[in-house]
Amino acid sequence: MSTSNPQLAQWVDEVARLTRPDRIHWCDGSEAEDRQLIDQMLESGDLLELNQDSHPGCYLHRSDPADVARVEHLTFVCTRQEDDAGPNNHWMEPGEARKKMLGLFEGCMEGRTLYVVPYCMGPVNSPLSRCGVEITDSPYVVVNMRRMTRMGKAALERIEREGSFVKGLHSTGELDPERRFIMHFPEDLEIMSYGSGYGGNALLGKKCHALRIASHQARSEGWLAEHMLIVGIENPQGETHYVAAAFPSACGKTNLAMLIPPTSHKGWKIWTVGDDIAWLHPGKDGRLWAINPEAGYFGVVPGTSPKTNPNAYDMITEDTLFTNVAVTEDNQPWWEGKKEGKPAIDWQGRPFDANRGAAAHPNSRFTVSASRNPSQSPEAEAAGGVPISAILFGGRRKDVAPLIFEAHDWNHGVLVGAGMASETTAAATGAQGVVRRDPMAMKPFCGYNFADYFAHWLNIGQKLSQPPRIFHVNWFRQDADGGFIWPGFGENLRVLRWVLDRCHGDAEAVDSPIGYLPTLEGIDQTELDMSREAMEELLSIDEGMWRAEMAEIGDFMGQFGERTPEQLMKEFRKVVDALEARKAASGS
């Protein structure tokens, strides 16, 4: 297998001369190829076979202990002008970056196989999809890309028809943290990653292509590449409406994507289109249409259980690649929160000792095809995508943000997303309650200056005659004792129902300076053990806190200087003025 595309053939030849592999393999994405690569890694020890009676088709990979997560401080956006990358990105001059990377790649594949991995992000037959080619020397990357993308022959055929693709060059190198860089060249649709075998740094179709490069590509082509789940909500009458949602980490993103309706909601169904990334395109009908560019899940394992996420738990019992989990005495995968079994061997292959810390690495992962998800949407492969009725932004806030509010309009919604923030937990940072701004949950992933990104969102709104309504949710409001007021998990469907009712004009709301709030009866509380006082607390806003919040948002916006769109600052001033007017009216 090779290619009729001269640009691709020339690039592969250039990379081979630079990296000097022993052989070149063009990946076709077949089951036979996948089996051969798995057998090869089982023989080399790069994969370990798990208990095939309890977990058929499941394997374990242990990564280098110094290579277990994304390396944001070594991830660069290399635009020709530094201001185009913005203060939200690490920047390096493209010429300097290429020189550094070519030096690292020289001869790095000697004794190894160079794999050419053509892939499509999104359904192969969709005009909304985009293709790429990753060159890698890691068979682990190849088998993961087969599960995470539409990889192989069909993708290559589309590349040959269209002639365009994102170039991604990857090598695990020596796995030396001092020789590890992930470079993005968005103006050239190119990625270079060296020195890491970890998924977020090595599976270049995921964050590197589908967000950093695609966000830049989307800006020039008039669409949005977002760090969002896509979920379909089917009512008892059989009508399905779709919601996209952006949350920072530890805010319930995957649980919402695979939500199980509570027993009080008979006849309701939830359909997962995607759990992590959404590509959103203005349609000819004036609505926003979305596809999930991914074909699988690369999820965090710890905490996954039949209680927290039954669908995720069920789907990873077969045909799953695990990375850095522990194993039991009978060789079943184990992680903190699983509840069943006991760890015998930790994620580094040592006898488990609780004094050394967690048995599974906190960022241990599963890779599995989306077809394994019991709640996978029938529209997951729809070439035209699904129409989005609402967009949710959310974060972890103990007091300032109510359970939910709706933006006044699209432009105000862009401000709501731009000002998104979440409070860190002590387990993650050592300091609880530190507020971090994470606009649209895209801080680590936007491939260009945030000010230009906000302007692009505003421009997209002008193209939509029927834009999605925009909401902000906060499942994490706390009472005076520090307990969560809202039960969360499946009960979040009650909030989603209010969202859809608002979209269809079937729910009343109370106007406030920050947006529209539900009435006390607006959220269905049937069979929900919650007092009226608790619901009042959930839906209340402290205007003093919000004045302080808006001041912090203003400071955050200030770092982007004159590039910040005036329309966004106009929306900002509207909220500030409304809060000040309420303060003056109350005399406080």
The annotation status of 492 as a binding-site residue, yes or no, is yes
What does the alpha-carbon distance between residue 490 and residue 398 come to, in Å, rounded to a whole number?
20
The annotation status of 89 as a binding-site residue, yes or no, is no
Work out the number of other CB atoms within 10 angstroms of the CB of residue 179.
Answer: 15
Give the pair of three-digit tokens for residue 344: 């015998």
Work out the number of other CB atoms within 10 angstroms of the CB of residue 525.
Answer: 17
pLDDT of residue 427: 38
Q: Is 388:244 a contact under the CB 8 Å cutoff?
A: yes
What does the alpha-carbon distance between residue 260 and residue 308 come to, in Å, rounded to a whole number?
10
Helix, strand, coil fractions of the chain, as percent rounded to 5 = 35, 20, 45
The annotation status of 393 as a binding-site residue, yes or no, is no
pLDDT of residue 400: 96
Q: Can you say whether the dihedral through the CA atoms of 310, 314, 317, 318 is positive or negative? A: negative
Local structure of 237: helix, strand or coil: coil
Q: Catalogue all structural domains in the chain, each as residue range(s) with its CATH number.
A: 6-47+71-221 (3.40.449.10), 226-292+380-582 (3.90.228.20), 298-372 (2.170.8.10)
What does the alpha-carbon distance between residue 196 and residue 8 come to, in Å, rounded to a whole number?
24
Rama region for 234: left / alpha / beta (φ>0; ψ in -120 to 50; rest): beta
The annotation status of 365 as a binding-site residue, yes or no, is yes
Give the pair of three-digit tokens for residue 46: 């790069």
Of the candidates 181, 146, 147, 149, the residue with the CA atom closest to the CA atom of residue 165: 149
Local structure of 443: helix, strand or coil: coil
Instruction: For the chain, 588 residues long, give each residue's pLDDT as a single digit of tens.
Output: 689 999 999 999 999 999 999 999 999 999 999 999 999 999 999 999 999 999 999 999 999 999 998 888 999 999 999 999 999 999 999 999 999 999 999 999 999 999 999 999 999 999 999 999 999 999 999 999 999 999 999 999 999 999 999 999 999 999 999 999 999 999 999 999 999 999 989 999 999 999 999 999 999 999 999 999 999 999 999 999 999 999 987 788 888 999 999 999 999 999 999 999 999 999 999 999 999 999 999 999 999 999 889 999 999 999 999 999 999 999 999 999 998 999 999 999 999 999 999 999 999 999 999 999 999 999 999 999 999 999 999 999 999 999 999 999 999 999 999 999 998 753 343 455 688 999 999 999 999 999 999 999 999 999 999 999 999 999 999 999 999 999 998 999 999 999 999 999 999 999 999 999 999 999 999 999 999 999 999 999 999 999 999 999 999 999 999 999 999 999 999 999 999 999 998 876
- DSSP letter string, 309-332: -HHHHHHTTSS-EEES-EE-TTS-
What does the alpha-carbon distance between residue 557 and residue 521 come to, in Å, rounded to a whole number?
36
The annotation status of 235 as a binding-site residue, yes or no, is no
User: Token match 């309009």: residue?
Assistant: 409
Do the bridges between strand 150-151 and strand 113-121 make them parallel or antiparallel, or are there none, so unpaired? antiparallel
pLDDT of residue 251: 84
Do the bridges between strand 321-323 and strand 59-61 make them parallel or antiparallel, or are there none, so unpaired? parallel
Q: How far is CA 430 from CA 343, 424, 427, 433, in A?
A: 26, 9, 6, 10
Q: Is 222:282 a contact under the CB 8 Å cutoff?
A: yes
The annotation status of 199 as a binding-site residue, yes or no, is yes
Work out the number of other CB atoms within 10 angstroms of the CB of residue 550.
Answer: 21
The type of residue at 352 is F
Element holding 99 (H helix, E strand): helix 94-105
Helix count (H) and strand count (E) of the chain?
A: 17, 29
Work out the number of other CB atoms within 10 angstroms of the CB of residue 568.
Answer: 22
β-pair partners for 245: 229, 392
The annotation status of 463 as a binding-site residue, yes or no, is no
Give the pair of three-digit tokens for residue 576: 């500030």
User: Token match 């760890």: residue?
Assistant: 343
Of the candidates 320, 318, 299, the residue with the CA atom closest to the CA atom of residue 308: 299
Q: How far is CA 267 from CA 113, 256, 332, 347, 401, in A?
A: 52, 18, 36, 42, 31
Question: Degrees (nearest 5) of the Cα angle 17, 92, 556?
Answer: 145
Active site residues: 251
Of the candidates 16, 26, 37, 227, the residue with the CA atom closest to the CA atom of residue 119: 26
What does the alpha-carbon distance between residue 420 and residue 362 come to, in Å, rounded to a whole number?
25
Q: Cα torsion at 410, 415, 417, 423 (round to 10°)?
A: -150
Local structure of 227: helix, strand or coil: coil
Instruction: Assign 3-class secondary structure to 67-98.
Output: CCCCCHHHEEECCCCHHHHCCCCEECCHHHHH
Its pTM stands at 0.96
pLDDT of residue 1: 66
